[in-house]
Amino acid sequence: MRAKDEFGPEYVVEVFDAKTGMQGVMVIDNTARGPGKGGMRMQPDVTTEEVMGLARAMTWKNALADIPFGGAKSGIKFDPKSPHKEAAIRAFADKVKKFIPDLYIAGPDMNTTEKEMAQFADQVGNNMATTGKPASMGGLPHELGSTGYGVALCIKTAVESRGGKLDGMTVAIEGFGNVGTFAMKFLSEWGAKVVAASDSKGVIYDNNGLDHGELMRTKAEKKTVTAHGKGQVLPPAELFKLPVDILIPGARPNVITDANVDDVKAKIVAEAANIPMTYGVEKKLMQKGVLVLPDFLANAGGVISSYCETMGWDEKKMFEVVTEKITNNTKLVMERAKDGDTRAAALAIAKERVLEAMRK
DSSP notation for 191-211? T-EEEEEEETTEEEE-TT---
Residue 1 pLDDT? 64
Residue 2 pLDDT? 75
Residue where a domain terminates, one of 112, 139, 166: 139
Burial of 219 (0-12, 13-18, 19+ CB in 10 A): buried
157 secondary structure, DSSP code: H
Max Cα-Cα span within the chain: 60
Residue where a domain terminates, one of 120, 139, 158: 139
Same domain, 22 and 135: yes
Q: Are 12 and 48 in contact (CB under 8 A)?
A: yes
Q: Are 59 and 346 in contact (CB under 8 A)?
A: no
* Catalytic option among 4, 19, 61, 73: 73
108 secondary structure, DSSP code: B
Same domain, 96 and 177: no
Q: What is the pLDDT of residues 303-346, one digit of tens each?
A: 999 999 999 999 999 999 999 999 999 999 999 998 999 999 99
HSE-CB of 291 using CA atoms within 13 angstroms:
23
133: containing domain? 11-56+71-139
Q: Is residue 6 in some structural domain?
A: no
Instruction: List the single range of 72-86, 138-152, 198-212, 234-248 with lowest mean pLDDT.
Output: 138-152
Same domain, 49 and 170: no
Same domain, 161 and 278: yes
Same domain, 176 and 99: no
Same domain, 16 and 47: yes
Strands of the sheet containing 170-174, edge to edge, are 232-234, 202-205, 193-199, 170-174, 246-249, 268-270, 291-293
As a whole number, mean pLDDT of residues 154-158 equals 98
73 catalytic per annotation: yes
CA distance 229 to 220: 14
Q: How many domains does the chain have?
A: 2
Query: What is the length of the chain?
Result: 360
**Alpha carbon 5 to its chain's center:** 25
CA distance 177 to 199: 8
Same domain, 98 and 134: yes
- CATH number of the domain that 23 lies in? 3.40.50.10860
Same domain, 83 and 154: no
Residue 326 pLDDT? 98
Q: Are 69 and 20 in contact (CB under 8 A)?
A: no
103 secondary structure, DSSP code: T
| Helix ranges, the chain (H) | 48-65, 85-96, 114-124, 146-161, 178-189, 212-222, 279-287, 295-298, 301-310, 315-336, 342-359
Answer positive or negative: Cα dihedral of 247, 248, 252, 253.
Answer: positive
CA distance 285 to 338: 15
Residue 322 pLDDT? 98
As a whole number, mean pLDDT of residues 3-25 equals 96
Residue 211 pLDDT? 97
Structure confidence at residue 3 as a pLDDT band (50, 70, 90): confident
Bridge partner list, 106: 130
Choice between 4 and 20, residue whose per-residue pLDDT is larger: 20
- CATH number of the domain that 186 lies in? 3.40.50.720
Q: Are 31 and 321 in contact (CB under 8 A)?
A: no
Same domain, 166 and 287: yes
Q: What is the pLDDT of residues 92-105, one digit of tens each?
A: 999 999 999 999 99
Residue where a domain terminates, one of 139, 169, 198: 139
